[in-house]
Amino acid sequence: MSGGPLLLTLLLVLMATISNGCTDILVTPGASADGSSMIGYNADSVSLYGVLYHYPRTEGRGGPGELRQVFDWDSGVRFGEIPEVNSTYNVIGNSNEHGLVIGESTFGGVPELAGQKQIDALGAVLDYGSLIYITLQRAKTAVEAIHTINALLDAYGYASSGESFSISDKSGDVWMMELIGRGDTYKKLGAVWVAQKIPDGYVGAHANQARTTTFPRDDPQNCLFAEDVVDVAVHYGLYPSTADPLKFSFSDTYNPVQFTSARMSEARVWSMFSQIAEEGFQQQYLDYALGINITKRMPLFIKPRAKLSLIDVMQLMNSHYEGTKLDPAKDNGAGIFASPYRSRPLVWEYQGKHYHNERTLATPRTGWSFIAQLRPWMPAELSALVWFAADDSSTSPRVPVFGSNWQVAEPYVGKGTQDGVPAPLLKLDMTKAFWVQNMVSNFCYYRWQDAYPVVREKIDNLQRDLLKQVQTLDDQLLKIYKTKGAKEAVDFATQFSVRTANAVHQQWLEFYGELFVRFRDFHIITEKKDEPSCGCDAKEPGLVDAVKKRIIDETGDHYEIPSNGQILNKESLLRSVAVQ
């Protein structure tokens, strides 16, 4: 794709529609080491504030006429209101007390249907973010969630662009649902969609590109869909009326793959799949991930060569294409500290040509992220265990939260834009996990090569430790549940989550201090007890050869120290600069 003005406009429109990029992984019980299903979700938007949204359970609240206000999760704009229901479930993070979890990524889709086409024409009110939280308040299982989403959208209209949803429940069922609005001239509110159950033993993923192609019509146990999913495409001239409806591909019609979506979106799926699939996958789909061959599509789900633990999934969701051809830490743009990150926008122009940054899976703009485990062996209230981080998935610690938790630790308390509350992004607040986790992340960004390995080790140790604590806790919880009942067990779990999140927050603030002390002023400063001036050793880490070479290639002899007369030998050279 070389890009004339029209193509470029299209490209920029596309980029705008995926400005809220996200990445999801969906792991079935048969593909996980402990038999839980897992949903990993990075919510990537720089205006997102990392807090645990909490909607307490309500009973007998919504009488006739009571309304629920709906604000767009992305923009904070009020879209309207819908009737409230009498009883709602406890929702915390993206999980509920019945063990239901929902994640998403935005794919945008064809302009006829993307971009909130139903708002003005038909008065649609539900954006995809509100849809998630309302569904979590009203549904218990994955299949119920799919029907709830469909019913809500049919009744009140869909006010966002194309979305992929990851849905899992306490039974371990894992579904991937992709939908796009019906547009403004089809004259029916709502969205068309296909939802497929990921077969047990398999792993799915999505990242800002629709992945559903053709799908079965006669297998309701494993595939559900809107009756008019093809009709809408025919109405808008996106699919020939004479073509075989069974050959209809959701993604190829509503969100065709282009260079940018292969390279920036599907490449993230490729990254995760190729780390866990049978050998050969990485090479087989490298052309596709690079955007060289965009017709060579990857399967919707794959069978991993080994079962995945929670820690494995954390690592997948932490990655930046390390060790692959797409690793951005290897070129000049990485700076002198080998960072995988770049200044945005993702697409940039130089002398009439267009270029892009690699869109890594873990990314600075993540507002919050989680990996949820749905444990079929636990009671419903304790089934959803959400490992929640308040910033970049690769540089932030994850704290364990249960779907039935009725209280949130103070550092994680806050409302979202979907509740009509703008994110408080202009005031640093050290009492909030979001800010302290951002401080550690941002510190890391500027000294990546030195600081990231330290942060990585710190997080990995913390997660292993918390995982052990949760294993002990689970035994206690089951005992309490049996002897004293659900309420006592939920109280105990809530207290554990609150205590742990408070402790991690305090630990992270101290960790920021440690990092700062250790990497101050471009040095690496460590303890050295017998050193008389500071009890410390201040190492000068220097430049790696790749960086030296780039500097010399660019500047020639500008920095070269002449080897004639003035400098006698290496020893005197080093002595002469040691004090400078």
Ligand X SMILES: *[C@@H]1O[C@H](CO)[C@@H](O)[C@H](O)[C@H]1NC(C)=O
Where do contacts with ligand X occur on this chain (CB under 6 A)?
A: 60, 63-64, 86, 293, 295-296
Beta strand spans in 188-240 (E): 191-197, 203-206, 223-225
Taking alpha carbons only, the member of 341, 390, 338, 383 closest to residue 505 is: 390
Please, which residue, 272 or 286, has the CB nearer to ligand X? 286
The least distance separating ligand X from the CB of residue 284, rounded to whole angstroms, comes to 9
Please, which residue, 325 or 487, has the CB nearer to ligand X? 325
Please, which residue, 86 or 572, has the CB nearer to ligand X? 86
The least distance separating ligand X from the CB of residue 85, rounded to whole angstroms, comes to 7
Dihedral pair phi/psi, residue 492, rounded to 5°: -65, -45
Asked whether the beta carbons of 319 and 312 are under 8 A apart, the reply is no
CA distance 60 to 80: 23
Count CA atoms closer than 13 A to 127's CA, side-chain side: 21
Please, which residue, 247 or 499, has the CB nearer to ligand X? 247
CA distance 545 to 537: 24
Please, which residue, 57 or 296, has the CB nearer to ligand X? 296
Asked whether the beta carbons of 118 and 161 are under 8 A apart, the reply is no
The least distance separating ligand X from the CB of residue 310, rounded to whole angstroms, comes to 34
SS (H, E, C) 291-329: CCCCCCCCCCEECCCCCECHHHHHHHHCCCCCCCCCCHH
Residue with the two structure tokens 């047990």: 200
Instruction: Classify residue 99 by its DSSP letter.
Output: S
Please, which residue, 2 or 295, has the CB nearer to ligand X? 295
The least distance separating ligand X from the CB of residue 87, rounded to whole angstroms, comes to 8
Asked whether the beta carbons of 209 and 225 are under 8 A apart, the reply is no
The least distance separating ligand X from the CB of residue 528, rounded to whole angstroms, comes to 58
Please, which residue, 222 or 283, has the CB nearer to ligand X? 283
Q: Any residues with CB less than 8 A from the CB of 262 and at least 6 apart, and which?
A: 209, 288, 289, 290, 291, 294
The least distance separating ligand X from the CB of residue 301, rounded to whole angstroms, comes to 18
Q: CA-CA distances (angstroms) from residue 134 to 71, 154, 378, 464?
A: 12, 14, 24, 33
Please, which residue, 285 or 435, has the CB nearer to ligand X? 285
The least distance separating ligand X from the CB of residue 288, rounded to whole angstroms, comes to 8
CA distance 439 to 409: 19
The least distance separating ligand X from the CB of residue 65, rounded to whole angstroms, comes to 10
